[in-house]
Structure formats: C-alpha cells, structure tokens
Structure 1
Amino acid sequence: MGEELLLVKVESILSVVSSKPIEPGKVHKLSLLDQAMGLHTVHLVFYYASNPFNEGPMSSDIDNLRVSLSHLLNQYPNATGRLTRDPDGGWQVKCNDAGVRILQASVTATLDEWLRSADAVLERDLTVWEDMPQDPSFWSPFRIQINNFKCGGLAIGLSCSHMNADITSLTLLIKSWTEAHRGQPLTHTPTFQLHLPTTYVSSSSSLTPSPLFIASNHVKMGTVTMKFSDSSIRKYLSQVKNECPKATPFDVLVALFWSRIAKWVDPSPKHHYLSLCVDMRTNPGIPYGYFGNALHFSLLSMDADMLLSDTGHHQVSDCIHKHVSSLKEEDFGAFIRELESKEQPCRMYGPRLTCINAEHLVCAENGGGLMYAARFNEEKPVLVSYNVGNVEGEGLIMVMPSSEAGFGRTVTVTLPEEQIVNLCKDKTVLGLEPIMLVSGNRR
C-alpha cells in the first residue's frame, strides 16, 4: 500500500479535566533529573484490533473515554497542569485543572495495512506533537490521540515532554486508565515525590571515568522496529549460557546490536562506549508507581577487539549483564549529583550509543510485557510501540517486552540512516528471524 494512502487526519481537539477540582495553588517542582530530560519527548502507541470504547450503537469514542479518563486524572494532577518557572528559574507543574489535550483522528487504512506498510515517520502522526512554546502556560504537556482505522481497529497515542514522565510512568498511566475504565482499583497508585539521601557515593566499579555527556553531531536518523520470538531468543541465550548463565534477553540483544553497529564505525576506535539506561524502580527505595523520571544512565566501555570478534558477543553479553546487575541505588544518587554540574538540559539519548533496559516491565504473572495488560475490555493490545524524540549522535536501542509470553522482545533502533539500511539487511541480525514491524528505510 502506498504511503500516500496512509494518512492520519485529526478531526477534533478537546481537553479532559479531572472530575474533582484540584486544590488551589498546588504545584509540583520537577526534579533535577526531570529537568535534565528537557530536550526529549516520549511517544507511546497502543494498537487494538477493535475499538474498546464502542460499547453500544449510541455510544461514541469521546464520550466513553472522557468519563473514565476524567476519574483517573483525579490521581494524576501533574498530567492536567501546565509547566511554569519557579522563582529560582527551575521548572514546575502548576496543577490547575487545565486538562489533558485529546485529539480524535481517522486513518485511511486498516490496522493490518498500517502495521505492514507504515514507517516510524508516519507512526509519529498517531501521536501528533506540538513543541513547547516560549510561554507554556496554556500548552498541554500531555496529549492523547485516538486514531480510528478503517477496519474498526484503534490506536491510542500518548505523548509528553520527557521532563514530565518516562516510559514506565506513561505505560502505567495507560494501564491505570484501562483499570479505571473497567471500574477496578489501580494496581499501581501514582506517587510524585522521589526522596534520595544526599550522602550517596557511587560504589559501582563498572562505571568508567569517561564522560557520559558529550556533544553530538546532527545527522539524519532512521528508525526500525523488530520483533524477536521467544524461541529465537531462547536459542540465542543457550549459546551464551556457559559464559553468562544468568543472561537476560536484554543482555544478548544489546550485545548483538552493539557488535553489529560497531562494525560500521569508520575509523573504528580502540574502545567503544555504550550508555545504558536502567529504570531504578527495581530498587526498594523507589516506588514502582513513581510518576516522573527514575532513570539511571551509566557508561560501559569495551575493547574493540572483543566487541568486533565473531565470538565476542558471549563475553559482551556477560559484561553487559554484570554492569546492569551491579547498579545500586547509591549509584543513582551519584548520577543525580553529576547532573548538578550541568547548567542546561543534556541530550541524554544519542551522544553515545544508548540502550534502554525495560526488563522491569516484564509481567511476572505471564512473562509478557506489562503494557499488554492494558485492556479496556477483554482484548489486549496487538502491539505497543515506543519512541523517544530528539535522538541524535550515535543512536538509541530500546529493548522492550513483547506481547508473547516468555523471552520474546521488541527492539526499536534509531541510528544514522545509512546504518539503519545496513541493519535491515544484516545477516547476523536476520538470522534470528525478526518480524519487521516498522521499517525505517521506507521514505
């Protein structure tokens, strides 16, 4: 199907406010980490085979979603407010009942046609974004777009400034919405304050002294999404079990992509660096329901000879696993202190090749992704897509759980365009028989 037929048309825009008024004068100061993420945006798309809001011939999408969302927003005052500067010049949310912006759109394709033919650029149309204006007092930092496909399928797109929330926060927001829609209590009640001791000292020997924050050169980027089956990842894990018996799907997939991408760097350096983004909600001191940013970025270095070796991916997987498993809450505190020396937001994704670890979103009950438990009725999403805006430099790899129980994973890769072309035809990657969900080389 030609791209000219894959069109998204926004038909209406409105705001949904919480069903209970927010107390006057309530503000929420964004954390240092929140503000450091200011150059980026976050975009999620939940695809459903049928419209979960159409519960009868006389009901409409907007009427059904507004009721449950309005009740949910009582517990998310940060989502309904507006960004303002505090007296010291830092960012804060003025919780003022301004509401979440809701857009309703139609798509000139069926869901199957879209998933088969759309690329990452087109997919962004499902989460129409408007950059923050100079005066954001009337600008909605959260946007939900309801996209109706010709077949009756539906996609819910959610976007926000990364200052307001990370991917875990937004995943739980949608999942909580589905629970509110079904009249169920929230599994993860949101909390908004992150309390960290100020005496933290980094104790992780895996952190390298090389700078995490470097300048990046702007090049045209492309994106591709690949779905790897449970069986293919299990087979791949069995190949590294001697060197790394506790390897996770994240470890082996990052080792695979990192080693392949390193081959295309010219000239190849003696050492390669990888920025690892790990969610710290796995630590007891940080609640899973924390709404904001709870991400830790750290560097891992690798000798080029090992990384580029045909058999080196076993050792690379082991190094990645040891690095991630060694991170502690005190390392998070040290990372926050490092941010204090920055006078402006950093480009957190992309100066170095960056990998997002989302193993914490694997659902313990069924082994699938927690995002696939976002069910407005009995139907789970057929696909949940994640994207980070304003990625530059060496690129970004997102390893996400899939809808399949077990070790299946969905990997979204953003790289310079010529590297995306190489990746899409790389025999080692294709040897795992991934399904291409969104092809970045279609323009």
Structure 2
Amino acid sequence: MNMNFSNEEKESLIYDVRLSSVGPGRVTGSDVFHNPGGLDLAMKLHYLKVVYLFDSEAMQGLTITEIKDSFVTIFNYYFIICGRFRRSESGRPFIKCNDSGARTIETKCTKTLDEWLAMKDWSSYKLLFSQQIIGPELSFSPPILLQVTQFKCGGISLGLSWAHVLGDPLSASNFINLWGQTLNNLSLKIPFNIPRSAPTSLKPGLEKDPVTVKRVNPIGDHWILADSKKMDTFSFHITSSQMNNLQAQIWSPNDEQVPPFESLCAIIWRCIARVREGSEPTTVTICRPDPNGRGNDIIGNDQLICKVEAGNECSIVDTNLKILARMLVDQGIDERNQIEEVVEKDHGVTDFFVYGANLTFLDLEDVNVYDLKLKGQKPRFVYYTLQGVGDEGVVLVLPWSKDPSINNIDGKFVTIILPEDEMVKLKSELMMNGVMFEGVYY
C-alpha cells in the first residue's frame, strides 16, 4: 500500500517533541582537541541518516530514560563526537572535546509500527531523524543527533543523524551497535577514542583535483551543500530471487559472475545513462568499507573511494552489461591519497564534496546494518539515506535482513537520490529492466 500525504499530514504524524542532551559519564578534561584529517574534511558537507525500527518486544521493561542513560556509557569511549567544532587561526576546522554532548529528541507517532511500514512513503522517514546540520554557529552544533520515536503499538524507532566529517558509515554503524551492547549490559572491548593531533604539512599537493571530489564556493560555517537542482529520493526492495534473475540476464552459465552489487550497479548505471541522454555519466565513484580496516581509530573516514572511468568515447547505453559490471570490479582506482593531498594543499580550508560529484554507488552490504539489538531483538527494518548530495546523484545498496524471524524474504534494499526531474523516467527504466516492480518502492 503506497500512501501519499500532504506536508501538513506528514507533520501531524509526529507529536509531543522534547529536546535534551546527553554527554559522557566522565569528564574528558580541558584542552583536548581532535583534528579531522583531509578525508574527513572532504566529507564535511555530507550527513548520514539512519532509522532503526523495532517491535514492541524490544521495549519490554525498557524506558526512554534508560535508553538515554545508556548513551552516557558509550560516550565515555566516543567522547570526541560529543565535542563541538571550532576553527584554528588558519581557518582549519577541529573539534574541541568539551563534553557538550549529543542532542536527543523524544517524539511520539500517531501510527503503529505496522501501519508506518505499510505506508511505504520514504519522505515520511525524515520525520524520524533530525534535519539539523552543522552551523551556522559551529560552537552550538552537535555533530550527532539521536531521535527516539514511540509508536502507538509500543514499538520504537531510533533515528541517528551523523555528520560524515566524524567518520564513514562503518564508523557510525559500529558506534550504534556498540551502544546496543551497553544497553544490554554487555562489556565493551574497545579502546577509548584517541584524538588526532594537527596534521603535519604534506608535500606540495596535486596540480589537478581528483575526479572523485568537487570543490565548491566557500560555504563558511554553514556546512551543507547548496542545491543547484532539487533532489528527490526513492527506495525499493529486491528479493534474492529477483536478484538471481537479474544476474541470469547478464551472465551465462559458463561466465564467471561478478558479485551482485556490481551487477546491480551496472544495470542502474545504464538506466541512468538512458535518462541522461546526451550527458551520460561515463565516470562513476564506488564507496565501500576498506577490508583492511582503520587500525586503532574507532571513528574516521577510511572507506574506499574509487573512480571508474569508462572514457568519454564510451557509450554507456550501448555497452554490454557484462563489460560495465567487470569495469566496476576491476577498474576502480582508489583516490583517498589524492583527496587527502588536495584537501591538505589548502590546509583543510577549501570546501569539497564526494557524494554526487560523480554518479556514486555506496556499498553498505558490509556495514553490519542489522547488528543493533534491543533486549536481544533485531530491528524490523533499517533505513539509510544521505543529506547533502551533489547533482550527479547517489545509489545506496543495503542488505535486507537475513533473519527469517524478522522477514521471510531477503535480498537488497536500494535507495536512489537524484535530481527530481530525472526520477519519473528512471523508475520507468528500472521497471523495464526488471530491477523493480510497480508498487514495491517507497
């Protein structure tokens, strides 16, 4: 059941809004500063938004006060994210670890959880997380915000708004999953976050910006990408059997198949190329967790940021899907070092963005999306989206829950963020190519 609501009707779904703050249980101390690296600063105009939806069983014997109090423990380890941004004399942003805390929002919903899930209206999900961004007053802007919404049936949602400058999706996921362990009274076996010192001067930077980032006019202390086009978002679920059918359309039985992520992205890439006739995206970016990890840092941006260039002479629309899929697997060039260099060349002052600089595919399949548990219960559904996306757009690919006790179907969940004027045609292309079906998208 797809339902479309007016803005007034959507706003009326959420009521009884209360604000507060939660900080670490121990004092960090004075003059403790964390200096984001070049990769972190390249992501500062982006925000990760995550919603976890839980049945009422997960709340048995659990109160909102206990949920808020449990963040005190996890913030002892993640005290950096409870700080506030400042600027050095050179203008470079850094975090003063002053235990100012995270903003917490308590709300109630007029719907039951089942009614909410049945609405299948993605735009309503923004009611379950904060829209606040960093700035225009840095010293008053929390880098993370947490929203707890109680549904009429006793179920809840936990909405996380995470400033990407803090860390990549794996950082955010690990944080919230570890918080779940503290709520379940499990001991944490992680180091306390160690603030980074100011970076030393690098060798002279690149002459040319890497293609995976785009610089923008100075945005000052209001950290959000200015929209040159109105962006739209929609989501849909692909079952495993549907994914198998898509794979079979691309690969013959004798072929060595590439992973489903690249096959799916190849199809979506070609569909978007058809939508953008005359201006095909011949260069795309793939972002995914680094399998080698980030060492001892428990937050930070260390995901792979790889460019894949088909070449201007290549017609994406006319290229065989096998070739596009293998290109996504074999020809990605990681540009993290170059991004670091170009940001540090200007001492971290120049403003860049990554998501939507090219058409970007964000692989979230290894981000432990469904590992958060409340009272031993996994979420019914997890929704990811991004705020601050460039005109070229982003495709997010998440796993669907593999727990048969939650859903009797599995597969993948896809969220696409593109300019609004491209959406109707793209949905038609995706349906014609068997990627999605009428009535399955939000």
- Secondary structure of 1:421's aligned partner: helix
Per the alignment, residue 238 of structure 2 pairs with 228
Q: How many residues align?
A: 414
Structure 2 partner of 1:274: 284
Deviates more, 1:424-433 or 1:410-419: 424-433
Q: Pick closer, same or farther for the CA change 1:390–1:73 going to 2, 3 Å.
A: same
Show structure 1 runs of 5+ residues with no match: 201-207, 362-369
User: Which residue number in structure 2 is paired with residue 250 of structure 1?
Assistant: 261
Match of 1:411 in 2: 414
Q: Distance in 2 between matches of 1:407 and 1:118?
A: 17
Match of 1:29 in 2: 35
CA distance in 2, matches of 1:323, 1:359: 20
Partner amino acid, structure 1, of 2:316? L
Alpha-carbon distance change, 103 to 298 in structure 1, aligned in 2, over 3 angstroms: same
**Cα offsets for 1:300-348 (capped at 9, x unmatched):** 1225755213x71111111101134x75xxx532332133346522121
* Alpha-carbon distance in 1 for matches of 2:413, 2:190: 24
TM-score (norm 1): 0.83
Q: Equivalents in 1 of 2:154, 2:90: separation in Å?
A: 50
Q: Supply the AA of the counterpart residue of 1:380.
A: K
Q: Secondary structure at the match of 2:414?
A: strand
| Structure 2 residue 167 is the aligned partner of structure 1 residue 127 | no
Equivalent residues of 1:83, 1:137 under 8 A apart: yes
Equivalent residues of 1:129, 1:143 under 8 A apart: no
Equivalent residue for 2:303, pick from 275, 290, 295: 295
Aligned residue among 283, 287, 292 for 1:283: 292
User: 1:321 and 2:319 equivalent?
Assistant: no
Look up the equivalent residue of 2:214 and give its one-letter code.
F
The alpha carbon displacement at 1:96 in A equals 1.4
In the other structure, the counterpart of 1:349 is: 355
Q: 1:26 to 1:434 in 2, by over 3 A?
A: farther
Q: Check if 1:385 corresponds to 2:387.
A: no
State the shift of 1:429 in Å. 6.1
Deviations 1:120-177 (A, max 9, x none): 3321121122233333223222100001112222110010322122221111111011
Residues of 1 paired with 2:41 and 2:251: CA distance? 40
C-alpha displacement at 1:197, in angstroms? 11
What's 1:332 paired with?
A: 336
Distance 2:60 2:351 in 1: 42
Q: 2:187 corresponds to which residue?
A: 185
2:316 equivalent among 298, 307, 312:
307
Which TM-score applies when normalising by structure 2?
Answer: 0.83
In structure 2, the gaps of 5 or more residues are: 204-208, 217-225, 404-408
Partner residue, 1:204: none
Kept in 1: contact 2:268–2:430 (CA 8 A): no
Residue 167 in 1 paired to residue 169 in 2?
Answer: yes
Among residues 259, 282, 287, which one is paired with 2:270 in the alignment? 259
Rate the CA distance shift 1:172–1:189 in 2: closer, same or farther, 3 A.
farther
Tell me if the contact between 1:228 and 1:434 (Cα under 8 Å) persists in the aligned partners. no
Alignment partner of 1:47 out of 42, 49, 53 = 53
Instruction: Return the offset for 1:38.
Output: 1.9
Cα distance in 1, alignment partners of residues 303 and 143 from structure 2: 20
Query: Secondary structure at the residue paired with 2:173?
Result: helix
